[in-house]
Structure formats: structure tokens, C-alpha cells
């Protein structure tokens, strides 16, 4: 499916570039022999300096294409879709320079070979997920035995920790010009089971409990088969890999003990809910909001919900804390951290699960669709009411691109009531990057 989508996207882009070039040439009365504005091909080399100046050389194409500070780039999954070099993040620049294929729209005249737009077409996934058993950790590298029974060495960044014998999923970014994978996040698979168990305790009805119980059992079974397959592959090859075999055995023993504990916990929960679900539900509370304070001496965290009173939760050894997608402790939590979910005992206020996403981890870019509520030329702002009913006031700066009715526009061209098809802005500063507006068409009941 991924390959089909990639082919379709490439064909659409190429057709768009070709048709756009043809239309432009016709409109200006150019000759049929004029250089095409649309190029699509495999990259031979990309060289861009810190200011965005450089060139792109395509295979089987004699002349390189020139890029400059005004060239706009589009990288799939990156928002906003078109950015100049100075606006790209370090990761974005790395993706451009590591591109395997590109689609290029040349500025007029095409004979000057200056790129107006460059779209990066990835040939393989941007991220790699390595599932396996940690065999050894040496400094900033970790060696795991993957599902195929092969040892893979991956670089570990600061803050990511694993230990031999753990059954893990390592998430790494990979680019065409990167020599080796570098881990961005590490998740011990037993953490998934722990979270399922905690959510099972706070299930709101028999259907939720049954679904989570089945999911937990399937999780254990699926990963048990993975471990057995890894061990079988080692035995088939008759490799003398005592270190690897010991790590797999250690992981299997951990998984077996964890499964037995989970089964006991499931039975304990079933026994406690025999009195009825309404009584069981009354034992649990959930809260979302912002952390007000963290007390390491008292082992408590106080959370202020969006509405209602604050709640001070006790953190115990069984409390599972996740921050920014990684296992954490109470000491990792801080004031103003956003609590996406906290499940706790209504009687004792002991926390079962606390899932936190710190403000600095929110998306750099945001988008909104809706209608313009107000335009302030003096303050250089535009207020948009989203389709959900929320309002956001965006700052319009010199670099903001405004398009109205498919034409370039300015803030003075916008009016209250204009339909905002898409507005892209910086999440932190509310600085608008792109505003696309389409005025409602006249119709019955409209002036």
C-alpha cells in the first residue's frame, strides 16, 4: 500500500509539474522547443550550504539544477508543506540532502535551471523500528539480537538507557546519507503490558475489561513467539553465541514471570469486580490537566484540571509514569507539564498511571480551518474561528504567504466571513506561515 501511494503521489506531482509548465508556456506564447519546467528523477548528489545556495544533480541529466535561499522544499510528513532552506529544521535539511528522488519545478525562464520548488520523494521509510533482545551495551552503542536472529549495533543518544536481557523496540531515524542508525526512543515491551494491566484495573465496564484482557494475552503470546523464533534461529545456525543465547534466555524468563504475574492480577481484578461494575467504577478517578507541584519528600504530584478542583495524587512503586513517550519517575515531572491522562484510586488517591506530555514537546507547527472573525491592520493580526468553535489570533509578518481565491493577497485583502481553507502557524508564537482563503460563493439566501 505504501509503495502504491508513493507511486500515485509521484505521478500526480509529475503530471502537475508538466501540465503547469505546458499551461505557462501556452499563456506566454513560448515555442514548443522551450525547456520543460518540470523535472523528476533520481538524485546523484545534493550540495547546499548554510544559506541555502547550492545545486542538485540528477542521474542521466547533464546540467545540475541551482537552488538558492528562495527555493522552497516539501518533505512528506513535515508541516508546513513548503519551506525555504532557512526555515527547515536540522532534521529537514538532513532529509533534503539525503534525498534519493526529487521532483523539481524550475523558475522561469527554465533555461536558467533555477529551482523554484523541490519535493523530496522518499524511497524508503524515514523511521526504522528494531525489535529484539539487548545483548550488550558499550558506551553510546547497543547491540540487539533482532527477530531474524542477527546482531545489530545502533547508536544511543544521551538520555536513552537499556540493559542486557531486555526485550525492546528501538525507534531510529534513518536517512540515505547516514552511516548507521541512531536511536531516538527505546521502549521495553513489558512496559506495554504494564500499562494494559493498569488500564484494565480502571476499566469502566465488562466490555472494556474483556477487550483489555484479550489484548494483554495476545501481547504476551505474540512476543513469546518472537523470542522463541529468535532462539530457534540461533540453534539452527549452530552459532557459538553464548552471549546472545544467554540474553534471549534472560528475556524469556522475564517475560514468563511477567505473564504469570499478569494472570494473577487479572484474577484478582475479576474477584474484586464480582460485586458489580458500578461499585467498581466508583473506586477509580481520571484527570487531565497541568501539574501544579511535585513533592519528592511526600511522593505526591498535584494536578489542576481544565475545570474543577486540584487533586494531589500519591505516587507508589506500582505507579506507571510515562513522559514524552518514555518511562519516567516522579523526579522527571515538573511544574506546568501537561498531564494527558492520570488514573488513580478515588479512595486512597494512589496513582496507577500518569501520562505526561511536556509543553516543549508539542508540535512546532499547527493548522486551523474555519472562517475569519476579525482582521486588525494596525496590529497586523487575523482572528480565525475554527470549525470546532475555538478562536485563534495569528500574527501576519513579512514572510507570511496569503492566498485568496487562488491569487496572492495581502492582509488588507482579507475580510470577516472569508472561509479559511488552511492556515499554518508556529505553535508557540502564533506567527502565520501560510493562510489560504476562499471567499464563499453567492447563492440562495446570500447577498
Sheet with 311-314: list strands edge to edge. 311-314, 300-305, 284-295, 338-345, 351-357, 320-323, 326-328
State residue 302's pLDDT score: 95
pLDDT in tens, 386-407: 877 788 999 999 888 888 887 8
State residue 65's pLDDT score: 93
Residue 385's closest CA among 416, 410, 414, 413? 416
Give CA–CA dist 55/266, Å, rounded.
61
State residue 35's pLDDT score: 59
State residue 80's pLDDT score: 67
Low-confidence ranges of the chain (pLDDT < 50): 1-33, 175-179, 240, 359-363, 440-447
pLDDT in tens, 240-261: 467 777 778 888 888 788 788 7
Look at the domain 127-190 and name its fold: OB fold (Dihydrolipoamide Acetyltransferase, E2P) (2.40.50)
Asked if CATH classification 2.60.40.1930 holds for the domain at 365-438, the reply, yes or no, is no
Give CA–CA dist 379/101, Å, rounded.
43
- Alpha helix positions (H), 273-382: 277-281
Give CA–CA dist 247/166, Å, rounded.
8
State residue 185's pLDDT score: 61
Which stretch of DSSP H or E encloses residue 40? strand 38-48
- CB atoms inside a 10 Å sphere around CB 308: 9
Length of the chain equals: 447
Give CA–CA dist 174/180, Å, rounded.
8
Q: Which CATH superfamily is domain 283-361 in?
A: Copper binding periplasmic protein CusF (2.40.50.320)
Instruction: Give Cα separations from 202 to 208, 267, 318, 345 (angstroms).
Output: 9, 15, 14, 9
pLDDT in tens, 178-216: 445 566 566 677 777 777 777 777 776 777 778 878 888
Cell of 87: 526555515
Give CA–CA dist 315/265, Å, rounded.
20
Please answer whether residues 290 and 337 qualify as being in contact, where contact means their C-beta atoms are separated by less than 8 angstroms. yes
Amino acid at each position: 500500500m505504501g509503495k502504491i501511494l508513493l507511486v500515485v503521489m509521484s505521478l500526480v506531482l509529475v503530471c502537475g509539474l508538466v501540465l503547469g509548465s505546458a499551461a505557462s508556456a501556452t499563456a506566454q506564447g513560448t515555442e514548443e522547443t522551450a525547456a520543460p519546467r518540470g523535472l523528476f528523477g533520481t538524485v546523484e548528489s545534493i550540495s547546499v550550504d548554510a544559506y541555502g545556495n547550492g545545486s542538485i544533480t540528477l542521474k542521466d541529466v547533464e546540467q545540475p539544477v541551482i537552488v538558492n535561499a528562495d527555493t522552497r522544499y516539501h518533505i512528506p510528513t513535515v508541516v508546513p508543506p513548503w519551506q525555504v532552506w532557512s526555515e527547515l529544521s536540522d532534521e529537514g535539511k538532513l532529509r533534503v540532502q539525503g534525498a534519493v528522488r526529487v521532483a523539481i519545478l524550475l523558475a522561469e525562464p527554465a533555461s536558467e535551471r533555477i529551482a523554484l520548488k523541490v519535493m523530496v520523494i522518499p524511497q524508503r521509510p524515514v523511521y526504522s523500528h528494531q525489535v529484539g533482545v539487548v545483548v550488550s551495551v558499550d558506551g553510546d552503542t547497543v547491540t540487539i539480537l533482532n527477530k531474524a536472529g542477527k546482531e545489530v549495533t545502533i547508536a544511543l543518544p544521551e538520555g536513552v538507557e537499556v540493559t542486557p536481557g531486555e526485550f525492546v523496540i528501538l525507534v531510529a531515524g534513518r536517512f540515505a546519507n547516514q552511516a548507521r542508525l541512531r536511536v531516538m526512543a527505546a521502549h521495553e515491551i513489558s512496559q506495554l503490558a504494564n500499562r494494559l494491566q493498569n488500564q484494565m484495573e480502571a476499566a469502566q465496564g465488562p466490555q472494556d475489561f474483556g477487550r483489555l484482557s484479550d489484548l494483554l494475552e495476545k501481547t504476551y503470546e505474540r512476543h513469546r513467539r518472537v523470542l522463541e523464533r529468535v532462539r530457534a534461529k540461533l540453534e539452527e545456525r549452530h552459532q557459538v553465541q553464548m552471549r546472545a543465547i544467554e540474553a534471549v534466555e534472560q528475556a524469556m524468563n522475564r517475560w514468563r514471570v511477567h505473564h504469570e504475574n499478569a494472570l494473577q492480577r487479572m484474577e484478582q481484578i475479576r474477584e474484586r469486580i464480582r460485586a458489580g461494575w458500578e461499585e467498581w467504577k466508583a473506586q477509580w478517578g481520571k484527570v487531565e490537566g497541568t501539574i501544579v507541584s511535585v513533592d519528592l519528600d511526600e511522593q505526591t504530584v498535584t494536578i489542576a484540571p481544565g475545570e474543577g478542583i486540584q487533586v494531589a495524587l500519591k505516587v507508589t512503586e506500582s505507579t506507571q509514569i510515562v513522559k514524552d513517550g518514555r518511562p519516567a519517575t516522579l523526579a522527571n515531572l515538573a511544574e506546568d507539564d501537561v498531564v494527558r491522562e492520570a488514573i488513580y484510586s478515588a479512595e486512597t488517591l494512589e496513582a496507577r498511571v500518569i501520562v505526561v506530555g511536556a509543553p516543549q514537546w508539542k508540535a512546532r507547527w499547527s493548522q486551523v480551518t474555519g472562517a475569519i472573525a476579525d482582521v486588525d491592520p494596525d496590529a497586523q493580526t487575523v482572528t480565525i474561528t475554527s470549525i470546532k468553535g475555538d478562536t485563534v489570533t495569528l500574527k501576519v509578518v513579512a514572510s507570511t504567504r496569503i492566498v485568496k481565491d487562488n491569487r496572492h493577497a495581502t492582509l488588507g485583502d482579507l475580510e470577516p466571513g472569508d472561509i479559511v481553507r488552511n492556515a499554518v502557524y508556529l505553535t508557540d508564537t502564533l506567527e502565520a506561515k501560510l493562510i489560504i482563503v476562499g471567499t464563499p460563493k453567492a447563492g440562495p439566501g446570500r447577498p
